[in-house]
Amino acid sequence: METSSTFGGATWTMHLMEGELPTSMSGSCGACINGKLYVFGGYDDKGYSNRLYFVNLRTRDGNYIWEKITNFEGKPPTPRDKLSCWVYKDRLIYFGGYGCRRHNELQDCFDVHDASWEEQIFWGWHNDVHVFDTKTQSWFQPEIKQTRMNDLHYLNLDTWTWSGRVPINGENPKHRSWHTLTPIADDKLFLFGGLSADNIPLSDGWIHNVITNCWKQLTHLPKTRPRLWHTACLGKENEIMVFGGSKDDLLSLDTGHCNDLLIFQTQPYSLLRSCLDCIGKNAIILESQISLLPPKLLQQVLKKITFWTAANHREEQRAQKEEIENKCQRISSN
């Protein structure tokens, strides 16, 4: 059934639709690809929607049947309305909108009276991009470039003039945020950790020479100790001490802040430091000879013994904890 009316030389035609009709919505977003009208999102009496419907407008028999797309791959946007859409290469590209946030965007409040955390779901505007590929029937969220940078700038403290982007010779570290950049000499900076453009916590360390404008990666650093949102400072013998922060992508997962101290060498230790560490690590073997040391040196040795005893104890506890966790995982998988 169809009805038509003419106004100002143009003719409107109304067609009755069949199939899985979308509910009456406000703020939905529609776009056409290859003669098919796609409608996403909106707001109705039940709240915000993230359902996607389409209808073929190029039928030969005049029947227009709506279909709800349910057999898709990937993760659709959260329910929302008032979003924008454009078409590119058989893809629907959605941006923004208003609605609820994902679980990883929720804010928690601490009730000081009940001494408990309360999860607060909130509504707000989005600035994310989601893409639906009409050929593969799949949702995906592309990596938006330039959200994290790897450029280097400096400020002249005499003229208060910014340098602009410093040209780099050779290899660059990955794009990142939430990292630390620590001076370790008059002409060198130490870069550690951060969150990559792919939202991967990083554990790499680099030294930048401000004279040659070259980066050099420290390949001896452990790959299993990523950090972001941490602090870093320089020690007496040019070692970098990293404390706090997180080892997770805080945008999607947070298992708590780290409280262990990471120490990275940026140059070989002095002979005295190497000897003290050797004695501290082998205190049991050298126990009968330690008392023969001069008083001033003895105090330094005793401090090193205390340090390495505590460090070994913590390492044993960590190894035991990992072993227990691995056993529990094997049991649960079986």
Looking at the chain, the domain(s) classified CATH 2.120.10.80 span: 147-268
Q: What is the mean pLDDT of residues 277-283?
A: 92
Share of the chain above pLDDT 70, in %: 87
Asked if 247 and 258 count as a contact pair (C-beta separation under 8 A), the reply is yes
Q: What is the pLDDT of residues 67-79, one digit of tens each?
A: 999 999 999 999 9
Please tell me the pTM assigned to this model: 0.53
The band of 117, judged by pLDDT with boundaries at 50, 70 and 90, is very low
pLDDT tens, 219-271?
Answer: 988 888 999 989 999 988 888 999 988 888 766 666 668 888 898 988 888 89
In this structure, the chain runs to a length of: 334
Q: What is the mean pLDDT of the chain?
A: 86
Asked if residues 147 and 197 have their Cβ atoms less than 8 Å apart, the reply is: yes
Which one, of 291, 200, 192, lies nearest residue 248 by Cα? 200
Q: pLDDT value at position 211?
A: 96
When pLDDT is cut at 50, 70 and 90, the band that residue 5 belongs to is low
Please choose, from the candidates 76, 81, 93, the residue with its C-alpha nearest in 3D space to the C-alpha of residue 125. 81
Residue 245 in tokens: 């922060």
Q: What is the pLDDT of residue 101?
A: 67
Segment 124-146 mean pLDDT: 86
Higher pLDDT, 308 or 9: 308
| CA geometry: angle 219, 225, 230, nearest 5 deg | 105
Whether 265 contacts 190, CB under 8 Å: no
Res. 168: pLDDT tops 50: yes
The string of pLDDT tens digits covering residues 88-112 is 989 999 988 998 765 455 445 555 5
- 180 burial level (CB within 10 Å; 0-12, 13-18, 19+): buried
CATH superfamily of 147-268: Kelch-type beta propeller (2.120.10.80)
140-164 pLDDT, tens per residue?
Answer: 988 766 678 899 998 887 888 889 9
End-to-end CA distance of the chain: 61
Please state which of the ranges 13-17, 98-102, 120-124, 240-244 shows the lowest mean pLDDT.
120-124
Burial of 176 (0-12, 13-18, 19+ CB in 10 A): buried
Among 218, 246, 241, which residue's Cα sits nearest to residue 230?
246
